């Protein structure tokens, strides 16, 4: 048989791509969007074929192959290399002392990179499946999937061509015997071993509670960043002080805060921007639109970002400082995460492994005889992504942190996947519907009670949260959120521009009964009467009041001596400190001043709202199909009529003709 060199192999792949419909080619481009994006967009099918079989792209794609596909590809690559060596042996090695160019020419010669076409029957025979059966069917399906993904191509004579770089990538990995089915991390229900009792709560209930808490935590975290952007270190990443501040504002632990920061950055809700004082993290313009969405639509991009994150944010290797908002470099993390979720999906309820403690209480033990629930889970996950699980360092530690992240995000519970986790495993971009079923509609009204509290029996809307937060202090949350009104909290509302009339009107509209308790009305009216009895002028500054006795009291107040107050008129005091410092000192002493402009109008004090623009471009869901039309030479607006339009089946179900056994 004539040796098929690398150029002819690309020709076979190009012809295979040309036989696809635009929808099938677009599906291929969408599946490989991340590795293909690392190179310029192809302008022709030959360029796409060259990119698919480049060493860099293959290095990314093989990590996401399960055991059957990886074993079939490795077997075909080995047979191809053996046949290539028999058909065209490589050139003699350069003599000792040869120059660099001679050495590289020998190493990169076609004899080492060429790929001889291999009959599919030879691949099946090498896998121990020469005749029809379950193993043969699994091998055929794996070969069809490789052809669909562009990792194998049919030659004109019906044989199979694999990328010439595949032997270099896979020769060092011992994949063991071909396994048609994934191993189970837990014993079957039919086994004689006793099974665990069914937990009192269902995975659905656990997931519902987790995502409800997650939505509120993300909202508080972004609100804190909008008020006060977080500064990054010069070496990159947030400082420990900033992480502690944001964790306190969000009401979450520091590891979970790091996780949510990385997820919101990947989702485009926050971005890093350069300022004169350094690089800061603050919300993007998409954050304002995010606030108006229902809870399910808000969490969908955050959870989808977790599946593709090149990092395990809650895991900090020994000797490193925990931080956040650092670009991840763990390219195996997405495949590792997918493998664990796929293994958990096979665990029935009541047979799940216990959640491993953090940090791991015992050092990981290795060896064929060592068994533990976590190692059993890893062995099962290894079938789904062999190159990303047990062949990577610190697999046990990374798995423990990944499982804790999945539980925190509502994707796993009781040692198995929740319905939301199964939806993420199936399609990370289609989480809106399952999330909408988990999260109830936001509430627009609250129950105001005579003890000066407001209770929302569920998740309050953004508008209701903003109103109550401006005039009350959040006291507790969970299935119901409680705010408490105090003289200080009402004063904050008056400082931000409310009057007693407008505040009472807004609170009345937000009341379930349409009325407010009398104690709350009295509290607002009393605070309004005291508010603004003194005015701080932006001079340097001045304090004025019609109450001369009050001003004399201020001038003699021991706690206000740092202000250097001096009486310049019976109704005016002058301060040596600027307006902001004077306001803070007066309020700390128990008074309720109001800020006044130089025109005599009351100045409204509002917290700053910072925004930036996201640097990552928004993906166009129609871009792969448009590119597929261009690569196939078809018009974008009007699809070509003919044989291509007569294939309604899903692209993933198509079996390339030359891949048929």
- Overall average pLDDT of the 38-48 stretch: 87
Q: Which residues contact 295 (CB under 8 A, 6 or more apart)?
A: 211, 212, 215, 435, 439, 442, 459
pLDDT band for 142, please (50, 70, 90 cuts): very high
**Mean of pLDDT over the chain:** 83
Asked if pLDDT for residue 362 goes beyond 80, the answer is no
Between 594 and 652, whose confidence is greater?
Answer: 594
Q: pLDDT at position 614, please?
A: 55
Read off φ and ψ for residue 572, nearest 5 degrees: -135, 130
Q: Are residues 59 and 130 in contact, defined by beta-carbon separation less than 8 angstroms?
A: no
Asked if pLDDT for residue 312 goes beyond 90, the answer is yes
Share of the chain above pLDDT 90, in %: 41
Q: pLDDT at position 88, please?
A: 54
Q: pLDDT at position 194, please?
A: 45
Asked if pLDDT for residue 153 goes beyond 70, the answer is yes
Asked if pLDDT for residue 273 goes beyond 50, the answer is yes
Q: pLDDT at position 661, please?
A: 40
Asked if pLDDT for residue 495 goes beyond 90, the answer is no
Q: Are residues 2 and 87 in contact, defined by beta-carbon separation less than 8 angstroms?
A: yes
**CA–CA distances in Å: residue 291 to residues 96, 294, 466, 541:** 69, 8, 11, 39
- Overall average pLDDT of the 350-369 stretch: 67
- Overall average pLDDT of the 529-534 stretch: 84
Residues present in the chain in total: 661
- Overall average pLDDT of the 142-161 stretch: 91
**Selection from 50-59, 259-268, 346-355, 390-399 with the highest mean pLDDT:** 259-268
Strands 412-413 and 416-417: antiparallel
Q: pLDDT at position 224, please?
A: 92
Q: How far is residue 283's CA from residue 218's CA, in Å, rounded to a whole number?
A: 12
Q: Are residues 322 and 254 in contact, defined by beta-carbon separation less than 8 angstroms?
A: yes
Asked if pLDDT for residue 631 goes beyond 80, the answer is yes
Q: pLDDT at position 412, please?
A: 94
Q: pLDDT at position 347, please?
A: 87
pLDDT band for 608, please (50, 70, 90 cuts): low
Asked if pLDDT for residue 4 goes beyond 50, the answer is no
Q: pLDDT at position 122, please?
A: 92
Q: How far is residue 2's CA from residue 162's CA, in Å, rounded to a whole number?
A: 16
How far is C-alpha 26 from the chain's CA centre? Answer: 24
Over residues 202-249, the pLDDT tens digits come to 888 899 999 988 998 999 999 999 989 999 988 888 988 999 999 999
Strands 535-537 and 594-595: parallel
Over residues 79-122, the pLDDT tens digits come to 988 887 665 555 566 667 666 666 555 554 544 455 688 999 99
pLDDT band for 475, please (50, 70, 90 cuts): confident
Asked if pLDDT for residue 523 goes beyond 60, the answer is yes
Q: How far is residue 493's CA from residue 363's CA, in Å, rounded to a whole number?
A: 54
Asked if pLDDT for residue 531 goes beyond 90, the answer is no
For residue 230, how many C-alpha atoms fall within 13 Å in the half-sphere facing its CB? 33
374: left (phi over 0), alpha (psi -120 to 50) or beta: alpha
Three-state DSSP class for residue 176? coil
Asked if pLDDT for residue 178 goes beyond 80, the answer is yes
Over residues 275-291, the pLDDT tens digits come to 887 889 999 988 988 98
- Overall average pLDDT of the 624-643 stretch: 71
Over residues 10-23, the pLDDT tens digits come to 888 899 999 999 99
Q: Where are the alpha helices (DSSP H) in 159-294?
A: 166-170, 203-227, 240-250, 254-266, 286-291
Asked if pLDDT for residue 625 goes beyond 90, the answer is no
Task: Work out the widest C-alpha separation in the chain, in whole angstroms.
Answer: 109
Q: pLDDT at position 568, please?
A: 86
pLDDT band for 61, please (50, 70, 90 cuts): very high
Least confident among 519-523, 531-535, 542-546, 623-627? 531-535
Q: pLDDT at position 504, please?
A: 94
Q: Are residues 261 and 221 in contact, defined by beta-carbon separation less than 8 angstroms?
A: yes
Tokens of 387: 């190159």
Three-state DSSP class for residue 362? coil
pLDDT band for 606, please (50, 70, 90 cuts): low
- Overall average pLDDT of the 470-481 stretch: 84
Asked if pLDDT for residue 181 goes beyond 70, the answer is yes
Between 195 and 409, whose confidence is greater?
Answer: 409
Q: pLDDT at position 539, please?
A: 60
Over residues 402-449, the pLDDT tens digits come to 999 999 999 999 889 999 999 999 999 889 889 988 888 888 999 999
Q: Beta strands of 453-500 (E only): which ranges?
A: 453-456, 473-476, 481-484
């Amino acid at each position: 048989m004539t040796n098929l060199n690398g150029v002819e192999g690309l020709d076979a792949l190009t012809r295979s791509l040309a036989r696809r419909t635009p929808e099938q080619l677009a599906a291929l481009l969408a599946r490989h969007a991340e590795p293909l994006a690392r190179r310029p967009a192809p302008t022709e099918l030959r360029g796409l074929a060259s990119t698919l079989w480049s060493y860099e792209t293959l290095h990314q794609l093989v990590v996401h192959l399960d055991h059957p596909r990886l074993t079939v590809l490795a077997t075909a690559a080995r047979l191809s290399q053996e046949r290539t060596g028999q058909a065209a042996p490589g050139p003699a090695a350069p003599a000792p002392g040869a120059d660099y160019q001679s050495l590289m020419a020998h190493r990169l010669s076609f004899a080492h990179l060429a790929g001889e076409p291999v009959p599919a029957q030879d691949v099946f025979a090498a896998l121990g499946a020469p005749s029809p059966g379950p193993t043969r069917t699994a091998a055929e399906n794996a070969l069809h999937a490789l052809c669909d993904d562009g990792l194998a191509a049919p030659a004109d004579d019906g044989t199979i061509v694999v990328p010439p770089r595949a032997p270099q990538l896979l020769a060092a990995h011992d994949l063991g015997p071909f396994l048609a089915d994934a191993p189970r991390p837990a014993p079957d229900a039919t086994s004689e071993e006793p099974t665990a009792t069914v937990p009192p709560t269902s995975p659905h209930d656990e997931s519902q509670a987790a995502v409800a808490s997650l939505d509120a935590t993300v909202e508080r975290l972004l609100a804190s960043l909008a008020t006060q952007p977080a500064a990054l270190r010069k070496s990159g990443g947030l400082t420990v002080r900033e992480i502690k501040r944001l964790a306190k504002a969000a009401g979450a632990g520091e590891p979970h805060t790091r996780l949510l920061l990385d997820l919101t950055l990947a989702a485009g809700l926050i971005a890093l921007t350069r300022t004169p004082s350094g690089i800061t993290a603050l919300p993007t313009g998409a954050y304002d639109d995010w606030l108006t969405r229902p809870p399910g639509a808000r969490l969908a991009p955050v959870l989808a970002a977790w599946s593709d994150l090149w990092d395990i944010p809650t895991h900090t290797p020994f000797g490193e400082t925990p931080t956040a908002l650092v670009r991840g470099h763990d390219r195996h993390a997405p495949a590792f995460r997918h493998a664990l979720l796929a293994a958990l999906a096979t665990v029935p309820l009541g047979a799940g492994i216990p959640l491993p403690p953090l940090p791991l209480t015992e050092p990981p033990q290795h060896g064929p005889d060592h068994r533990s629930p976590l190692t059993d889970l890893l062995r099962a996950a290894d079938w789904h992504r062999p190159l990303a699980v047990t062949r990577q360092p610190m697999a046990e530690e990374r798995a423990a942190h990944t499982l804790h992240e999945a539980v925190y995000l509502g994707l796993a519970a009781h040692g198995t996947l929740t319905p939301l986790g199964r939806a993420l495993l199936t399609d990370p971009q289609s989480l809106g519907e399952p999330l909408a079923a988990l999260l109830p509609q936001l509430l627009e009204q609250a129950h105001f009670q005579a003890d000066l509290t407001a209770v929302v029996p569920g998740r309050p809307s953004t508008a209701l949260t903003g109103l109550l937060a401006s005039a009350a202090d959040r006291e507790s949350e969970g299935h119901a959120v409680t705010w408490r009104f105090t003289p200080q909290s009402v004063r904050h509302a008056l400082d931000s521009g409310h009057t007693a009339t407008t505040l009472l009107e807004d609170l009345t509209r937000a009341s379930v009964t349409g009325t407010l308790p009398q104690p709350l009305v009295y509290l607002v009216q009393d605070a309004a009467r005291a508010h603004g009895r003194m005015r701080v002028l932006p001079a340097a500054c001045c304090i004025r009041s019609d109450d001369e006795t009050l001003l004399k009291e201020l001038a003699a107040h021991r706690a206000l001596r740092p202000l250097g107050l001096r009486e310049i008129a019976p109704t005016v005091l002058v301060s040596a400190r600027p307006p902001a410092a004077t306001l803070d000192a007066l309020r700390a002493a128990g008074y309720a001043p109001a800020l006044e402009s130089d025109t005599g109008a009351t100045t409204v004090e509002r917290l700053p709202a910072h925004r930036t623009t996201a640097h990552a471009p928004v993906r166009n869901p129609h871009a792969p199909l448009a590119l597929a039309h261009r690569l196939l030479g078809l018009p974008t607006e009007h699809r070509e009529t003919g044989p291509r339009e007569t294939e309604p089946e899903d692209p993933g179900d198509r079996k390339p003709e030359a891949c048929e056994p």
